[in-house]
Each structure stands twice: as C-alpha cells, then as structure tokens.
Amino acid sequence: MKVASFYRFLDLMDPEDFKNALQGACDEQGLLGTILVANEGFNGSITGEESAIGHVFAWIEETLELDSPVEARWNAVSEPPFRRMRVKRKKEIVTLGRPDILPHKKTGTYVSGERWNELIANPDVVVVDTRNSYEFEVGTFPRAIDPKTDSFREFPEFAQKLANTSKDRPLAMFCTGGIRCEKATALMLELGFEEVYHLRGGILKYLEEMPAQENHWGGECFVFDTRVAVDRDLAEGGYVQCHACRRPLSTEEMASPDYQEGISCPRCVNDLDADRKERLGERQRQIELARERGDIHIGPK
C-alpha cells in the first residue's frame, strides 16, 4: 500500500464537474484520502494500491489533457493513514487568502536538493520556512526563519514585513511538499523580491532523495495525516496529535499532567470550555469502547 501526495496549479475551467468525476474515479479504485479542487488546480494525498493510484493519475491526465504526467511523492505504509475518500471544492487548493496569486503564471525558481544545500549554507540568503509554527517546532532546516503563523492565510502579513527589510536579499523558501512555497514565492515576486528560490518537491522529496551524509534536515517533518510526523527515513515519527487543538505532541508533552488522550494537551488545556471537554471526553470513551471490542472507531478527523 502506498501514499501519494500531489498537486498541480493550472486553469481549471469547471472545478465542480471535475470534483464529482474525480470522486467517482477514486471510489472506483477503492482509494482513501483527500483531494482539494479549485479554479487554480488540485491538491491531494491518497492511499491504496500503487496500480490503483496510477489509474487515477492517468484518468486526471487524460481528462484535463495535461502536457506532462502528474508528479507525486510516494511513501509505503502498512495501513491507510486516511479514513475515507473525499474530493472537496475550495476557493484555493492552498489557502493563502489570495486566489489572484497564480503560481502557474509566475513563481520562484525551483532548485534541487544539492543546490538547496548550497543556498542554506550561504549567510547572504534568507531561508524562510513557509509552514506553521507548530510544524516548525517539530523540525526544520538550519538558519530557517519561523514566520510565526498558525495558518498559511497569515503568511502575507509576514511577507510584507520581510519585504520592508530584506527585499534586496536572495530568498530560499520551503514547505512540506512544495505547494505552499510555490505560492509563497509567487507572492514574494509580487512584493518586489527579484531572486527567489524554492525547494522542488519540498521537505519530503528532499528526505527521499538526499543521502544521509548530505541531509541537513533537523528533527521530524509534520504531515497532515494519522502518521502526524515522519523521520529522516520517512518512517512514522515519535509524535502524536492532540484531538482538541490538532497540534503535534512530543513524548515530553504527553508526560504532562495536562495531557489527556483525545481531550487536551499542555497547549490547549486552558482554552477549552467545560462543554467542549465533555464532548471530547465522551468521544474518547467511545473510542476506548471500540478498542475493547476490536472495532475501529470512525469519527471526524
């Protein structure tokens, strides 16, 4: 069983019809996962047999008359990290709050892992992690700046501040799989930066291809599925996810008295009201009862 993560920026004329047809194609192949569809393209992660995923990719390429194959990052898994198959219509396939920013029209310069290592070693280059702060805390590259965002929608405010101070310096930007930094580099070009680079395929592609002795990644990489994070070998890492606030939790945080499985963690325990705690507690009881019966509890992700 494989997980494939993929995206493509393009002009999608009828996203609603494409969404419905794509749902049918995925269901027919027995796939699980989530795919977002918008006028600017598609973005998703799906799991199943490699041949079934390949069949859906071929369907996309034929349906949209693509001039190149769908590129994906592949990872082997022992069990599916998704619970259901959902294709959803969105305003943006990655939410910057700027649907007018179109990376397939203009974006930064893609660089390989080898070139990336040169850029992040250059003190004149500003290295920007375009992910959220909770992802940054799990792992990042040396010298990377944390924009201090809780969602990608907050990134334009950081970008404007950076433009006010560092517009004349080269930028090297990265994210998990490439999609956020592809849109972020397009924004930076609009703000007046002239030399903007981004890591092709993101962190996951870098970890997949870079030999251990040349791998400069530090920590683990947060992923948006039930694995929570992966290590340098792309194996499931040592983090769990708080059901209440969705933040990744380390072993130390799970040892805190504020951590209650499925209910709260040190990051959110003071933000939960009594009603929310009661609902989360009841859900956790149902999960534990299902475990005792040997069932899989299917609840909201």
- Active-site annotation, residues: 175
CA distance 237 to 219: 10
Nearest to 205 by CA among 169, 241, 234: 234
How many residues does the structure list for the chain?
A: 301
Strand duo 196-199 + 109-111: pairing = parallel
Nearest to 7 by CA among 48, 28, 36, 27: 36
Using CB atoms within 10 Å of the CB of residue 90, give its burial: 0 to 12 exposed, 13 to 18 middle, 19+ buried: middle
CA distance 233 to 103: 30
Q: Are 153 and 75 in contact (CB under 8 A)?
A: no
Q: Which residues pair with 2 in a beta bridge?
A: 48, 76
